[in-house]
């Protein structure tokens, strides 16, 4: 622990430089704004700014993205409470009770409890991040290619199960993502794969235009296609921000539970902040002595989920920094930013670039405090951003995407890829396919392929060495269980239902 505290102090020494403090401020403000704007969220903001991070050093880029991620969680709750509009997917649950509280004149209390819960949860998750990452990285240093192949397969298997939509659709998106990841010249054989005879495609499809197209351009097209109905804004005065003693009492345990459960859920592949909010909400409802209050303005329904989604952010960073594997789409963006700077995240990064890792951790502490100070006094200012007409806002977003993509390689092919992925992302959304599995598979696919090939070289082409190593076998079994267990549970429920029907019919006779 003494070593961790010493490293953290060095991290603060790094981030307290004026340049990095500016990135913390910009990241938290941009994150709050993108959280307020419905649909954009941290993923869209990161995708749009990915190309511009090349103007910063790697530490500055990571600090900026961390601020955006945390800030979006804060901003999303603001519009959920005041307008019944979830600015970010993880804030959907907050609408259930937050907006009801606003209608009852308790919007200020809901906002304060949400901000306090987010601050506490963020602190818990950052502490978990700085303890878990070095420990897990130490273990990962002992992993070989077979273990990393198994981790990749395990991550994809869980991703199929946890994306929340159809399993078949998620699997299709993952396969397409892995196919896109194979485009380009094979580094081992020199063979050109799926390049259509275009020399520019020898290097493969860049992550940047794919991400910005799927999440930036597609989001703009979706926003343009939606209606522009405006909700009634509940303005909040400074005096209304103070919750009552009873509201604080009812919020403390949900904040505590949400903070710890959110962090552990953040370690799981999939949209962890969203999953964490639903689990927290259902937990609080089951534990409450008055479950009938939920959906009618229960402050527990705001405190728990808002704490859980912020805590899940810190948890999501653990597998990226410790193993080099992104388990969420936002972490895929962070991975993309690191790769643009020539860095490969994983166990070696923490020891080779301690200034970067501990600087990011320290910036999270400062960013959380900055968000607490900024968000409550300026809440009405941030919400007023929604008054900007979409026909002005959306072209600006498109222009930023075009400049961001072209500024990296000055390639017209990248602009074409941006357009293709943007249209494809919009079309996929319209037919009910989620694009997050595609982008994650595009990142994980090459890693899995590389680990498989290295494993075959190590084992002399024998699959036993790939399948039956203890850690690998455990991960494969867990991956298989993620598919089998839901089927078993479904079968048991059907048997119970048929048994109940048989008992009823027997009783009627």
Evaluate the CA torsion angle 66, 91, 441, 351 in order and state its sign: positive
Beta-carbon-side half-sphere exposure of residue 302 (alpha carbons within 13 Å):
37
* CA–CA separation, 373 and 280 (whole Å): 25
Walk along the chain (509 residues) and give the pLDDT tens digit of each residue.
Answer: 677 787 888 888 888 888 889 988 888 888 888 777 765 667 777 877 777 787 888 888 888 888 888 887 777 777 777 766 665 666 767 877 887 887 787 777 888 888 888 888 888 888 888 888 877 777 766 677 888 788 778 777 766 765 556 778 888 888 888 888 888 888 777 788 888 877 778 878 877 788 778 877 887 788 777 654 445 555 555 566 677 888 888 888 989 988 888 888 777 665 567 677 877 888 888 888 888 788 777 888 888 888 888 888 888 888 888 777 777 777 878 887 888 888 877 777 777 888 888 888 888 888 888 887 777 677 666 666 666 677 777 787 788 778 777 776 778 888 888 899 989 988 988 888 877 778 778 877 887 888 888 888 888 878 877 888 888 888 888 888 877 877 787 788 788 877 777 776 776 65
> Which pLDDT belongs to residue 200?
76
Packing angle, helices 18-36 and 2-15, rounded to 10 = 90
* CA–CA separation, 49 and 53 (whole Å): 7
Domain residue spans in the chain? Answer: 2-398+410-468
> Which pLDDT belongs to residue 308?
86
* CA–CA separation, 38 and 86 (whole Å): 6
pTM: 0.69
DSSP string for residues in 433-501 = --SHHHHHHHHHHHHHHHHHHHHHHHTTT-THHHHSSHHHHHHHHHHHHHHHHHHHHHHHHHHHHHHHH
> Which pLDDT belongs to residue 66?
86
> Which pLDDT belongs to residue 379?
66
DSSP string for residues in 139-175 = HHTT--HHHHHHHHHHHHHHHHHHSSS-HHHHHHHHH
Backbone angles phi, psi at 238, to 5 degrees: -60, -35
> Which pLDDT belongs to residue 194?
83
Return the SS3 of 377: coil
């Amino acid at each position: 622990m003494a070593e961790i505290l010493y490293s953290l102090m060095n991290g603060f020494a790094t981030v307290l430089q004026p340049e990095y403090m500016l990135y913390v401020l910009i990241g938290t403000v941009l994150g709050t704004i993108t959280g307020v704007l419905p649909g954009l969220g941290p993923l869209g903001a990161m995708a749009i700014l990915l190309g511009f991070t090349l103007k910063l050093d790697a530490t500055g880029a990571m600090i900026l993205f961390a601020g955006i991620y945390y800030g979006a969680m804060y901003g999303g709750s603001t519009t959920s409470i005041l307008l019944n509009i979830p600015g970010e997917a993880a804030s959907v649950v907050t609408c259930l009770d937050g907006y009801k509280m606003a209608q009852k004149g308790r919007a200020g209390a809901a906002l304060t409890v949400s901000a306090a819960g987010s601050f506490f949860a963020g602190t818990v998750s950052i502490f978990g991040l700085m303890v878990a990452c070095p420990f897990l990285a130490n273990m990962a240093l002992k992993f070989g290619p077979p273990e990393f192949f198994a981790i990749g397969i395990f991550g994809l298997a869980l991703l199929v199960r946890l994306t929340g939509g159809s399993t078949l659709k998620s699997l299709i998106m993952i396969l397409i993502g892995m196919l896109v990841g194979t485009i380009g010249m094979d580094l081992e054989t020199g063979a050109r794969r799926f390049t259509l005879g275009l020399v520019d495609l020898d290097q493969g499809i860049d992550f940047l235009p794919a991400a910005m197209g799927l999440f930036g351009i597609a989001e703009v097209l979706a926003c343009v296609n939606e209606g522009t109905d405006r909700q009634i804004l509940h303005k909040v005065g400074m005096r209304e921000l103070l919750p009552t003693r009873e509201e604080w009492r009812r919020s403390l345990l949900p904040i505590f539970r949400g903070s710890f459960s959110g962090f552990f859920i953040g370690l799981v592949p999939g949209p962890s902040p969203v999953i964490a909010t639903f689990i927290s909400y259902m937990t609080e409802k089951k534990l409450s002595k008055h479950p009938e209050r939920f959906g009618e303005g229960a402050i527990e329904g705001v405190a728990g989920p808002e704490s859980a989604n912020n805590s899940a952010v810190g948890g999501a960073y653990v597998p990226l920094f410790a193993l080099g594997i992104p388990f969420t789409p936002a972490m895929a963006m962070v991975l993309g930013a690191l790769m643009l700077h020539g860095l490969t995240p994983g166990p070696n990064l923490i020891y080779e670039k301690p200034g970067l890792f501990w600087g990011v951790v320290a910036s999270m502490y400062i960013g959380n405090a900055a968000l607490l100070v900024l968000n409550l006094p300026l809440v009405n200012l941030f919400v007023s951003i929604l008054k900007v007409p979409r026909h002005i806002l959306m072209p600006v977003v498109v222009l930023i995407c075009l400049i961001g993509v072209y500024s990296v390689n000055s390639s017209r092919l990248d602009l074409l890829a941006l357009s293709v992925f943007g249209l494809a992302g919009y079309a996929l959304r319209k037919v009910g396919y989620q694009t997050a599995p595609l982008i994650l598979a595009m990142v994980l696919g090459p890693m899995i392929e590389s680990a498989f090939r290295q494993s075959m070289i190590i084992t002399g082409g024998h699959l036993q060495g790939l399948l039956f190593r203890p850690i690998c076998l455990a991960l494969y079994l867990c991956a298989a269980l993620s598919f089998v267990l839901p089927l078993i549970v479904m079968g048991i429920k059907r048997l119970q239902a048929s048994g109940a029907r048989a008992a009823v019919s027997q009783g009627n006779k």
